[in-house]
Amino acid sequence: MHPIIHDPGHIKGVRTVATVEFVKGIIVALAGLGVLSMRHKDIWEATESFLKFFHLNPHHHYVGVFIHLMHRLGDVRLWKVATAAAVYVIIRFVEAYGLWHIRPWAEWLAFASGAIYIPFEAADLYRQPNGFRLLVIVVNVGIVLYMLMLRLEAAKKHSAARHSAQSG
């Protein structure tokens, strides 16, 4: 089997995606740690402190959603959220590592893990269209298509190399 030499553009593109996935992992890790730090605490008091610290209006729609979620959280639910966040973070970090080192399995993982979210993101965008949701789906679709293109291109090169080795 002949090694596939990656061009600098491929490396730069894949490492950009790796950076995006790493940053997503960091954000969710921090959020998960924040949620986990709420265990055994008065959730409402902590929520009020958070709102005051960031000068957030409790009557704003998104702040209201946050308040509703925080009000429903208990210790068991906190652990479930933290566990789900930990699994997500591990997947993002493994994916980012593999992409940074230009591993084909990581490109497939980026394709699959990004493609899974597209229907949910599209439904979310349809229900509540806004610029942020549009940006999220555009970036995700771009990453999915880019990873698919890279994997199909690599398969084509691998097949051509195998064919030339057999006929030569």
Give domain limits for the chain.
8-39+74-161
CB atoms within 10 A of CB 46: 14
| Rounded-to-integer distance, Cα 149 and Cα 63, Å | 40
The residue type at 116 = I
Which stretch of DSSP H or E encloses residue 52? helix 43-53
- Asked if the model's pLDDT at residue 1 lies above 50, the reply is no
- What does the pLDDT look like over 76-134, one tens digit per residue? 777 787 788 899 999 999 999 999 999 999 999 999 999 999 999 999 899 989 999 89
pLDDT at 75: 64
Phi, psi values for residue 114, rounded to 5°: -75, -40
pLDDT score, position 121: 92
What average pLDDT score do residues 26-48 get? 74
Most confident of 52-56, 59-63, 103-107: 103-107
Instruction: Give Dmax (Cα) for the chain.
Output: 74
What single DSSP character describes residue 38? T
The chain-wide mean pLDDT, for the chain, equals 83
- pLDDT(3) > 60: no
pLDDT exceeds cutoff 70 at 63? no
112, 82, 85, 84: which is closest to 98 by C-alpha? 112
Statement: residue 14 has pLDDT above 70: yes
Look-up: residue for tokens 């691998």? 158
> So what's the pLDDT on residue 22?
96
User: pTM for this one?
Assistant: 0.70
Give the model confidence (pLDDT) of 126-166 as tens digits.
Answer: 998 999 989 999 999 999 999 999 999 989 988 888 888 88
